[in-house]
Chain A
Amino acid sequence: MRGLSVAAALFLLPAMAQAKDTLSVGMVLEPPHLDVTAGAAAAIREVTYANLYEGLTRIDEKGEIRPGLAESWTVSEDGKAYTFKLRAGVLFHDGTPFDCDVVKFSYGRAAAADSVNAQKPLFAAIAKTECPDARTAVVMLSQPTASFLFNMGWADASMISPKSAATNKINPVGTGPFKFKNWAKGDRVELVRNPDYWGEKAKLSAVTFRFIADPTAATAAMLAGDVDAFPQFPAPEALDQFKADKRFTVNVGSTAGKIVMALNESRKPFDDVRVRRALAYAIDRKQYIDGILSGFGQPIGSHYMPGDLGYVDLVGAYPYDPAKARALLAEAGIKPGFTMTITTPPPGYARKGGEVIAALLEQVGITVKLAPMEWAQWLDIVFKQYNYDATLIAHVEPRDLGIYARDSYYFNYKNPEYRAIYDKYLAATDPAAQIALLGQLQRKLSDDEANVFISTLPKIGVWNARLRGMWGNLPVPSNDVTAAHWAE
């Protein structure tokens, strides 16, 4: 018996010593479905971007454009024709080969009249896609678009196989280094390594995304080792505990997230710029950042990230000044005791943040009712039906000044001057002119205080100290684990 157990122990040893090659990633929100080209939820991207789906270009950890399924490209002199050289030997997870027809299909589907793509305007400039041969795609634009290559790196511009387009919501099929295995609703999505990947194969054999909404449960799951990484950790107040613990790495980086109090400008009195400015004066960004983000956010003065191309610092435009806020409200005819409702989706920056905003607005004589909503409800009532006064929300899409130039968007900001500048920016090909126009756009938004711009959304991540290759920053919503691996 003893001999047997010793033999068994010896036999088991090598297996136990083998390095861990699976990863369990914690996320706060569960995606509503897994078709990244058919939904606005960041959670879809956080599971699938770069892991499962790929586009012609991709955005890296620093926000730079890198080749994706296109290995190289050239741009015509007039900035209207992009010729992409496509990679050879790329297969979708279901075996469908990737070629120019797929590019044509994917862009055509996203730009179509009945497209449900959450970023449809990104594709508006595409006039047509031509296929001189299977490995060359020529995308013709109706007008030069400065950010085209960056845009095509968004998750929304992922390459979708015509065969699986209809079923991607429940059974996603992409070209990425991981493929879909299983989705236990309410609990986890499991991905496994794609053995036929065209590029460097993933180091991990399997990745599990687990959905843990409650900050306390998230803390407990990290401490117990149930999840190896929580790239966007929901309990900043518990960070000190993780910092003191050698088993964990705490990373504070940036996202493209801008926390704003979005105002429904089709409703009175939010159509009045004096009211919007008053709200901006009434909100003390420092108190919000210290109280809600444990001091990790940066105040913003416009819908743009510090450090992005052409950033202008407008934080000082509306300093905290309750007296001025009251004066502006009085001027706009708002009586003390005016009541407004702020809808708050689940994340702490909104749910908890709402209490801070409510207390601050009370100081200038505004009574705030907080209306908590689950995401599905928020997407429907606020984002689709525009049926709200104000809401706290982080816009996590990068360089998305374009949303203020849309015909119809949930905050109903309609300003022809802004749109004219935006059109000029889109058409500008000279980098210096682009930067100047980006500055003008930010100034216009700040001047109009289209929404109340509050803070950047920090990326506070906690993961196992032996884990390598996690993204420190989140220029686009994602959990790119293609390079993740365990240290020896």
Chain B
Amino acid sequence: MKPSLVVGGALTALLVGMALLSLVWTPYSPTGIDILHKLAPPSATHLLGSDSLGRDVLSMIMAGARNSIAVSVIAVAVGAGIGVPLGCLAAAKGGMVNEVTMRATDLAFAFPALLTAVMITALAGPGATNAMIAIGIFNIPVFTRVARGAAIVIWQRDFVMAARAVGKTRWAIAVGDVLPNIAAVLLVQMTIQFALGIIADAGLSYVGLGTQPPQPSWGRMLNDAQTYIFRAPLLAVFPGAAITLAVLGLNLLGDGLRDRLDPRLRGR
């Protein structure tokens, strides 16, 4: 097995495990303040120290992972849920449908994704739900493009030709033959979009438009930490490291999966 798959898989498992664990247990309440012990350095009581209100940093990072994953998963689900059918439709129908869908994705790509997400959350009000929707909207054209590109290749394969020759409907072919064959490509794209979603969520939270306090989020932890950058630099290091490792893990996982699932790359 490729090292990228192992490392990526391990980091992703750690991220997801931490998020799941935070549902049932964190060392302290991630929202519980303890002003007397604020800005404590890492120690046996607070493994990663405490923040400016005395909240336990490890607990906040765990709960932050949960919030971050929730936003990214839903954003990916929104993107794939709408983008993949659109892409498959474009590939299956061709002609005008294909043209219109592709120009629409061109249009969507013309907007800078994160700035538009900022605009959407600013208009609809800050909060995790709106962040999910805003990030999700920008996943749609990505999945449309990827699904269409991969599906067009499959549509020209001999077994599809054969299926059409025996009278199978386009709809049945798209669902029964094409979709299973592009699933691997989509899975890889999902991990990449998942990683981008975590960055986008952190960015939105950093500017105050993502997950709202008192719910912890990595982006806001970074924002809070910058005021204390000289007194307690570790406060910025831990959420920063969490974001980096999560994104690195997901990207490596995506890379590893692609190598493994793509027959042309297999064995290299």
A binds B: yes
Q: List chain A positions with a Cβ less than 8 A from chain B.
A: 215-216, 219, 235, 237-238, 240-241, 286-287, 290-291, 352, 354-356, 358-360, 362, 368-372
The total of Cβ contacts below 8 Å across the A-B interface reads 58
A291 touches B227 (CB 8 A): no
- Pick the residue among A216, A237, A291, A372 that contacts B35 (CB under 8 A): A291
Interface residues of B in 196-219 (CB under 8 A from A): 208, 212-214
A237 touches B31 (CB 8 A): no
- Chain B residues near A369 (CB, 8 Å)? 212
Q: Which of B54, B227, B230 has the most CB of A within 10 A?
A: B227
A359 touches B33 (CB 8 A): yes
Interface residues of B in 20-51 (CB under 8 A from A): 31-33, 35-36, 38
Determine whether B116 belongs to the interface, using a CB cutoff of 8 Å to chain A. no
- Chain B residues near A352 (CB, 8 Å)? 52-53
- Pick the residue among B38, B213, B227 that contacts A238 (CB under 8 A): B227
B35 touches A290 (CB 8 A): yes
* B214 to A: closest C-beta gap in Å: 4
Known: A215-B227, A216-B226, A291-B52. A355 touches B33 (CB 8 A): yes
Since A237-B228, A358-B214 are in contact, a sample of 12 more A-B pairs with Cβ atoms closer than 8 Å, ordered by chain A residue number, is A235-B227, A237-B52, A238-B230, A287-B33, A287-B35, A291-B33, A358-B31, A358-B213, A359-B33, A362-B31, A368-B214, A369-B212
B33 touches A354 (CB 8 A): no
Q: Mark B130-170, 1 if CB is under 8 A from A, else 0.
A: 00000000000000000000000000000000000000000
- Chain A residues near B212 (CB, 8 Å)? 369-372
CA distance A383 to B88 in the complex (A): 52
A237 touches B231 (CB 8 A): yes
- Chain B residues near A215 (CB, 8 Å)? 227
- Chain A residues near B249 (CB, 8 Å)? none
- Pick the residue among A360, A368, A372 that contacts B126 (CB under 8 A): A372
Interface size of B in residues (CB-CB distance below 8 Å): 20
CA distance A448 to B158 in the complex (A): 83
- Chain B residues near A360 (CB, 8 Å)? 33
* B118 to A: closest C-beta gap in Å: 14
- Chain B residues near A287 (CB, 8 Å)? 33, 35
B227 touches A237 (CB 8 A): yes
CA distance A237 to B52 in the complex (A): 9
Q: List chain B positions with a Cβ less than 8 A from chain A.
A: 31-33, 35-36, 38, 52-54, 126, 208, 212-214, 226-231
Q: Which of A215, A354, A355, A372 has the most CB of B within 10 A?
A: A355
Q: Which residue of B lies closest to A290 (CB)?
A: B35
* A299 to B: closest C-beta gap in Å: 14
- Pick the residue among A219, A290, A291, A359 that contacts B31 (CB under 8 A): A359
- Chain A residues near B227 (CB, 8 Å)? 215-216, 219, 235, 237-238
- Pick the residue among B52, B53, B126, B230 that contacts A241 (CB under 8 A): B230
Known: A235-B227, A359-B31, A372-B126. A291 touches B54 (CB 8 A): yes
Across chains A and B, which 5 residue pairs bring their CB atoms closest together, nearest first?
A291-B35, A359-B33, A287-B35, A358-B214, A290-B35
- Pick the residue among B33, B36, B214, B230 that contacts A370 (CB under 8 A): B214
CA distance A45 to B32 in the complex (A): 38
Q: Which residue of A lies closest to B34 (CB)?
A: A287
- Chain A residues near B54 (CB, 8 Å)? 291
- Pick the residue among A219, A235, A290, A359 that contacts B214 (CB under 8 A): A359
- Chain B residues near A216 (CB, 8 Å)? 226-227, 229
CA distance A41 to B3 in the complex (A): 60
CA distance A306 to B32 in the complex (A): 31
Q: Which residue of B lies closest to A286 (CB)?
A: B35
* B241 to A: closest C-beta gap in Å: 20
Q: Which residue of B lies closest to A288 (CB)?
A: B35
CA distance A286 to B230 in the complex (A): 25
CA distance A219 to B229 in the complex (A): 11
